[in-house]
Chain A
Amino acid sequence: MSSSVLICDDSNLARKQVLRSLPEQWQVDIKTASNGREALTLLRDNSVDVLFLDLTMPDIDGVGVLQGIQKLNLDTAVFVISADIQPEMQNKVMLLGAKAFLRKPVNAEVLTSNLQQHGYI
């Protein structure tokens, strides 16, 4: 049974960086979103197991997506991947239910160990 994964980032390059950092052995069905609004629509209409989420985005940002996920009462696991590494921001997203905070540019080993730690691979 493969996992359903959504990558949300306004940067095409950043989405590719995440895509390329996913563990090879992980059976996944991948969707992408280029902004928070698109992500929330996809999350509402599909069952998404794991979301890789950027924070600094136009329109609805990553914090907005986390709040939306809480409002919709979804059990999607969120891994935040952001350049905004301020401790206050890291605390904020963890309080909003993110599983982990990973700093950009994303590193394949760090991503894999986080997925292992939370039992996704």
Chain B
Amino acid sequence: MSAFNLNEDQQDCLQELINVAMGQASDQLARYLDTFVDLRVPSIEQVDASSLSITLNDKTLASAIVSQGFFGYEGIRGEALLVYQSQDSLQIADLLGYEPGELSEEEQLIDISSILTTTFLNVFASQIDNQMSYSAPRLLSASQNPLVEHVENLLFHWDLALKVKITYRVTDFSFNCDMILLIPESAISNIKSVLDRILEEF
């Protein structure tokens, strides 16, 4: 595992790139919902597949997840998971101000997730002179333990992943959404060389 660990400078650099991306994603969310999003320092950790399932397992009960793959140049790719608690997904219709029946709850979740994921990753990519393309977002609705199964499928080829967890807290509506970026081992080494390139400039 140690061969893939980010050193202190790389971790700091990645954190700052993520901060900037998170700030702009939150701004979009705030404008979209006409509210304020409370930002916290995101957490970045390296996890192996088995412990990731366990970490995610805690908060999967009755939650909805929107999952979207991303692919950039230079072998940078991964999967973004937007994780909602059940009480949060009920708030979404209110937040978005949709008329009843206009869009299903599922479509609303996909809408909001897509805004967060693409804004975040587009800003992240632009900072490293990269460009992302995306797969269609998939909703894993609140049946039993969809997240664990889904992650297990994703991680089928991954022993290690970089887990970036960002919490968007919309204060007016007590609504939380966790964005978890899973980046596979092969892409981590590509990200490391990009980080080193940025660090060399300083």
A contact residues vs B (CB 8 Å cutoff): 10-14, 16-17, 20, 55-58, 82-89, 103-105
In the complex the two chains form, what is the Cα distance from A89 to B27 in whole Å?
Answer: 10
Contact between B16 and A86, CB atoms less than 8 A apart? no
Among B20, B30, B41, the residue within 8 A (CB) of A57 is B41
Q: Which of B16, B27, B199 has the most CB of A within 10 A?
A: B16
Residues on B with C-beta less than 8 A from A16 are 202
Contact between B41 and A83, CB atoms less than 8 A apart? no
Closest B residue to A54 using CB positions: B19
Residues on B with C-beta less than 8 A from A14 are 16, 19
Main secondary structure of the interface of B (DSSP, over half): helix
A-B contact pairs, 24 of them (CB 8 A): A10-B41, A11-B12, A11-B15, A11-B19, A13-B16, A13-B198, A13-B199, A17-B202, A55-B39, A56-B23, A83-B23, A84-B26, A84-B27, A85-B27, A86-B26, A86-B27, A86-B30, A88-B30, A88-B36, A103-B23, A104-B19, A104-B23, A105-B16, A105-B20
Interface string of B68-82 (1 = CB under 8 A from A): 000000000000000
Q: How far is the CB of B31 from chain A (nearest CB, A)?
A: 8
Known: A83-B20, A84-B39. 13 other contacts (CB 8 A): A10-B41, A12-B9, A14-B16, A56-B19, A83-B19, A83-B21, A83-B23, A84-B27, A85-B27, A86-B37, A88-B30, A104-B19, A104-B20
Contact between B24 and A85, CB atoms less than 8 A apart? yes
In the complex the two chains form, what is the Cα distance from A20 to B202 in whole Å?
Answer: 8
